[in-house]
């Protein structure tokens, strides 16, 4: 393995070097064995003074895993935290890193071994697939912990990982493949069944578009569909009467045919055509084999309609929303491949052959549990990207295999949360403090604090709070307290007839 590092202190480095076993500059001048040094420059967001390391790891020929490690010059809390990525992007989550460094953590992130945000990064670099899938996070974690120990003269007391979406996939991959890397892990809205998720996107594209590529269901009608769903079910599924989001989408009995245009209607802008009804029904049902009818991937839940255009109506790049470059370069190795060529008999087998280095779907967490690891997984119940059934399905697989997993794994389904943030209900769930209490003090979380902020700018204040209970329990209003505060709710496991 070869590691390239650039290191530089920012801020009051000259005043604090004596407090460290190895000065920041010496991490560049005299790196641990196996590391090679290169110069580096960057600008750090506002933070306390830090020793900032930029490195590159090459665990196999051709691999170039970039990473950054930020080390507090003073006030280190003794903990290491790594943050995950989003989509196929190489971008580091510097906002999360800045928050963590301000709270005393040594913090790291990786570019997952490439530059950019398109799956075509594997062209000419087959090793990059495993780097992205699992190797980059593991190698970065190992390098970061070694450098932390060298800098401070002691290893971190506890090591944590948190990520959402692709970061959630990375989180589960760590628990499954590298159970000793982290003491505690947070996996949010994980796109962990990546190949099947992309099959779902491909299928979604095919059922929602005509042969000429035009949309069958115009995005302008989605607010109407979403309103009809909420009018029928919001506040009647365990939530409060004033909720404009669903607490239990699976209980919603709304059917798109209820707003189908009546025969002879001239203005179809306020109702759904027969073709549009069929598209909505198929989206809710999920990907099915067109010949056998077998379920191939989960459906998107009622209450998530507000976010559907992102992936099938408003593509950012020409290769979206069918994830064409995933299929072209990760599965078929054919840059001319188009979505209409997918054969649901032959190509499902070929697709599944590619899932090894990228899908984090193994329900065997016995090694992680034996190592004392703790895993918190959360998923928004209004997620328009990764269906929430992905997380409950994984929970059920773990439970079927090993019985009650609550000693090491807890799942939290968040009413109204979109994909990682935002959405019509709770817009944020606080898991970090709960995870640390569990890891460090043995206090397993019964619920997590859920918050709806008034806007994306948190300084605008809070609209309401509500507990997010450990699955399968849900939050139940006590009927007398302030419904806008979490203290007025208790966690209860629904009875079969609830």
Classify residue 12: in a domain, yes or no.
yes
Same domain, 347 and 440: no
pLDDT of 344 > 70? The answer is: yes
Classify residue 349: in a domain, yes or no.
yes
The rounded distance, in Å, linking the Cα atoms of 283 and 142 is 42
| Residue 254, φ and ψ in degrees, nearest 5 | -60, 140
Q: How far is CA 431 from CA 239, 294, 421, 494, in A?
A: 22, 36, 13, 23
pLDDT of 100 > 60? The answer is: yes
Say if residues 160 and 376 touch (Cβ distance below 8 Å). no
Say if residues 130 and 351 touch (Cβ distance below 8 Å). no
Mean per-residue pLDDT, 117-138: 95
Same domain, 98 and 240: no
Structural domain ending residue among the three candidates 353, 387, 422:
353
Q: How many CA atoms lie within 13 A of 50 on its CB side?
A: 28
Residue 322 binned pLDDT confidence (cut-offs 50, 70, 90): confident
Q: What's the pLDDT score for residue 43?
A: 47
Span 346-359, pLDDT tens digits = 999 899 888 889 99
pLDDT of 41 > 80? The answer is: no
Q: Shortest CA distance to 131 belongs to which of 102, 158, 170?
A: 170
Mean per-residue pLDDT, 77-104: 96
The rounded distance, in Å, linking the Cα atoms of 221 and 233 is 19
Same domain, 16 and 161: yes
**How many helices (H) and strands (E) would you count in the chain?**
15, 15
Classify residue 461: in a domain, yes or no.
no
Say if residues 117 and 85 touch (Cβ distance below 8 Å). no
Same domain, 402 and 428: yes
Q: Shortest CA distance to 214 belongs to which of 313, 338, 340?
A: 313
Supply the mean pLDDT for the chain: 90
Classify residue 468: in a domain, yes or no.
no
Tokens in use for 101?
């460094």
The rounded distance, in Å, linking the Cα atoms of 351 and 346 is 9
Tell me the percentage of the chain whose pLDDT exceeds 90: 73
Mean per-residue pLDDT, 288-295: 92
Same domain, 150 and 179: yes
Classify residue 221: in a domain, yes or no.
yes
pTM equals 0.94
Count of domains observed in the chain: 2
| 230-239 contacts at long range (C-beta below 8 A, 24 or more positions apart) | 230/303, 230/424, 232/258, 233/302, 233/303, 234/303, 238/474, 238/476, 238/494, 238/498, 239/415
Span 127-136, pLDDT tens digits = 999 999 999 9
Q: List CB contacts of 332: < 8 A, sequence separation 6 or more.
A: 347, 350
Classify residue 456: in a domain, yes or no.
no
Span 233-266, pLDDT tens digits = 999 999 999 999 999 999 999 999 999 999 988 8
Same domain, 166 and 45: yes
Kind plus residue range of the DSSP H or E element containing 65? strand 65-72
Structural domain ending residue among the three candidates 303, 321, 353:
353
Question: Cis before residue 145, ω within 30 degrees of 0?
Answer: no
How many other C-beta atoms can be found within 10 angstroms of the C-beta atom of residue 37?
16
Q: Shortest CA distance to 321 belongs to which of 291, 376, 283?
A: 283
Q: List CB contacts of 186: < 8 A, sequence separation 6 or more.
A: 160, 161, 162, 163, 171, 375, 376, 377, 378, 431, 432, 435
Q: Shortest CA distance to 21 belongs to which of 91, 76, 58, 66?
A: 76
How many other C-beta atoms can be found within 10 angstroms of the C-beta atom of residue 183?
22
Residue 405 binned pLDDT confidence (cut-offs 50, 70, 90): very high
The rounded distance, in Å, linking the Cα atoms of 127 and 417 is 35
Tokens in use for 427?
């817009």
Residue 448 binned pLDDT confidence (cut-offs 50, 70, 90): very high
Tokens in use for 133?
């899938």
The rounded distance, in Å, linking the Cα atoms of 433 and 448 is 9
Say if residues 183 and 439 touch (Cβ distance below 8 Å). yes
Same domain, 205 and 98: no
Higher confidence at residue 190 or residue 310? 190
Full domain range(s) for residue 436: 2-193+357-447
Q: What's the pLDDT score for residue 312?
A: 66
Structural domain ending residue among the three candidates 332, 353, 374:
353
Same domain, 277 and 372: no
Higher confidence at residue 38 or residue 59? 59
The rounded distance, in Å, linking the Cα atoms of 229 and 181 is 43
Tokens in use for 205?
């594209």
Same domain, 395 and 429: yes
Q: Where are the alpha helices (DSSP H) in 409-491?
A: 432-441
The helix/strand/coil state of 59 is coil
Tokens in use for 98?
């800045």
Same domain, 255 and 310: yes
Q: Where are the alpha helices (DSSP H) in 164-307?
A: 166-177, 194-208, 222-233, 274-285
Same domain, 20 and 163: yes
Strand order in 462-469's β-sheet?
428-429, 447-453, 462-469
Classify residue 398: in a domain, yes or no.
yes
The rounded distance, in Å, linking the Cα atoms of 435 and 437 is 5
User: Which CATH number do you get for residue 125?
Assistant: 3.40.50.1820
Same domain, 66 and 146: yes
The rounded distance, in Å, linking the Cα atoms of 390 and 453 is 26
Kind plus residue range of the DSSP H or E element containing 392? helix 389-402
Q: How many residues does the chain have?
A: 498
DSSP state of 156: -
Tokens in use for 45?
């967001």
Residue 194 binned pLDDT confidence (cut-offs 50, 70, 90): very high
pLDDT of 17 > 70? The answer is: no
**CA end-to-end span of the chain:** 56
Tokens in use for 193?
């069944």
Q: Where are the alpha helices (DSSP H) in 222-360?
A: 222-233, 274-285, 309-312, 324-326, 346-353
Q: What's the pLDDT score for residue 311?
A: 67
Residue 12 binned pLDDT confidence (cut-offs 50, 70, 90): very low
Classify residue 458: in a domain, yes or no.
no
């Amino acid at each position: 393995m070869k590691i390239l590092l650039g290191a530089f202190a920012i801020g009051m480095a000259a005043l604090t070097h004596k407090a460290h076993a190895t000065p920041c500059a010496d991490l560049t001048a005299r790196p641990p064995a196996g590391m090679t040094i290169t110069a580096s420059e960057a600008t750090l967001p506002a933070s306390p003074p830090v020793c900032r390391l930029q490195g590159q790891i090459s665990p196999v020929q051709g691999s170039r895993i970039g990473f950054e490690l930020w080390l507090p010059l003073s006030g280190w809390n003794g903990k290491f935290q790594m943050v995950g990525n989003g989509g196929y992007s190489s971008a580091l989550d510097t906002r999360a890193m800045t928050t963590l460094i301000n709270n005393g953590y040594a913090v790291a992130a990786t570019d997952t071994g490439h530059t950019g945000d398109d799956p075509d990064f594997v062209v000419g670099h087959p090793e990059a697939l495993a780097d992205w899938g699992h190797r980059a996070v593991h190698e970065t974690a190992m390098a970061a912990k070694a450098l932390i120990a060298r800098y401070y003269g002691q290893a971190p007391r506890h090591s944590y990982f948190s990520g959402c979406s692709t970061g959630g996939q990375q989180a589960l991959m760590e628990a499954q493949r590298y159970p000793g890397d982290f003491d505690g892990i947070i996996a949010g809205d994980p796109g962990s069944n990546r190949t099947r998720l992309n099959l779902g996107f491909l299928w979604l594209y095919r059922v929602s578009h005509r042969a000429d590529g035009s949309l069958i269901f115009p995005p302008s009608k989605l607010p109407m569909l979403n309103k009809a769903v909420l009018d029928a079910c919001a506040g009647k599924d365990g939530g409060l009467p004033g909720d404009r989001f669903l607490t239990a989408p699976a209980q919603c009995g709304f059917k798109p045919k209820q707003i189908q245009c009546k025969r002879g209607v001239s203005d179809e802008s306020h109702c759904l055509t027969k073709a549009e009804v069929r598209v909505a029904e198929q989206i809710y049902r999920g990907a099915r084999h067109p010949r056998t009818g077998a379920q191939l991937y989960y459906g998107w839940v009622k209450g998530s309609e507000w976010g559907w255009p992102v992936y099938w109506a408003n593509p950012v790049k020409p290769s979206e929303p069918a994830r064409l470059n995933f299929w072209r370069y990760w599965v078929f190795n054919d840059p001319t491949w188009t979505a209409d060529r997918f054969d649901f008999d032959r190509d499902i087998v070929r697709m599944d052959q590619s899932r090894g280095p990228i899908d984090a779907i193994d329900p065997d967490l016995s090694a992680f549990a034996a190592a004392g690891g703790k895993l918190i997984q959360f998923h928004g119940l209004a997620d328009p990207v990764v269906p929430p059934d992905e997380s409950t399905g994984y929970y059920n697989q773990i439970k079927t295999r090993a019985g009650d997993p609550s000693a090491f794994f807890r799942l939290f389904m968040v009413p109204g949360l979109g994909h990682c943030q935002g959405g019509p209900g709770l817009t944020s769930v606080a898991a970090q403090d709960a995870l640390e209490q569990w890891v460090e003090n043995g206090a397993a979380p019964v619920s997590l604090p859920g918050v709806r902020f008034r806007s994306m700018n948190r300084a605008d204040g809070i609209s309401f709070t509500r507990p997010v209970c450990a699955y399968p329990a849900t939050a139940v209003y006590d009927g007398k307290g302030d419904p806008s505060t979490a203290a007025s709710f208790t966690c209860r496991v629904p009875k079969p007839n609830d």
